[in-house]
Amino acid sequence: MRLIHAAAAVLLLSAGPAMAQSSEPGIAVGGTAGTTGLGVEVQVKLGPIFTLRGAVDRLTYATDESYDGIDYDADLAFDTVGGFIDMHPLANGLLISGGAYVGDRDIALAGTPTGPVDIGGQTWTPSQVGTLNGTVKLRDVAPFVGIGWDDTFYRSGRWGFRAVAGVAWSEEPEVVLTSTGGSLSNDPAFQARLRDESEQITEETEGYGLFPVLQVGLNYKF
């Protein structure tokens, strides 16, 4: 029992300076980098426990993707704003964060077959298909939860370090696939097959609804 009392006393004594430091009002700005791209943030401390945070992020990335046996050049572009509440339950840098990202999150696809390809369950020649263009559009709103560390308002200096890990999620993406430059690009039957192919790609991209968020950053408080 005495050990418990002693441990409690140590915790209270160690938390005292942090509580005093965090009880002061504060505003901070900073920059971040991570899986959401490069971003800027503004934080407003609401009290010793809660901080309101707003963010603007941009992520661009080019890669190659294969869907249903067809190779595409994929250009990813995420432009989002975010609003979050960070809770610091121990009145120190440890945080639990919740909020949402809002904005355009699209993947542009372009592929020109060099051999026969299966589209919508039927085989077509390159001259019939032409160039396939598509958009994988994730939902505009993605709720977020995460944990991390941000000591911006819990240290004596102006600078603070931030690291957060979490996940944002949304419903399955919307996929639209079109064809240009092919002899059957405007053919109604081929268009119907393209719609079937779009549904196939939708099934293959369902996992995109879960987006891991890993960020690090530096903040400057006023």
Q: What's the whole-number mean pLDDT along residues 181-207?
A: 90
Q: What's the whole-number mean pLDDT along residues 147-175?
A: 93
Identify the pLDDT of residue 25: 62
For the domain made up of 24-221, give the CATH fold: Porin (2.40.160)
Q: Where are the domains of the chain?
A: 24-221
pLDDT digits (tens, 9 = 90+) for 169-193: 988 788 999 999 999 999 999 999 9
Give the pLDDT band (50/70/90) at residue 13: very low
Identify the pLDDT of residue 73: 94
Identify the pLDDT of residue 4: 34
pLDDT digits (tens, 9 = 90+) for 75-107: 999 999 999 999 999 999 999 999 999 999 899
Identify the pLDDT of residue 77: 93
Give the pLDDT band (50/70/90) at residue 24: low
Identify the pLDDT of residue 78: 93
Q: Which of 12-21, 33-42, 52-61, 207-216 has the lowest mean pLDDT?
A: 12-21
* Mean pLDDT rounded to a whole number for the chain: 88
Identify the pLDDT of residue 205: 81
Strand pairing category for 210-221 and 141-150: unpaired
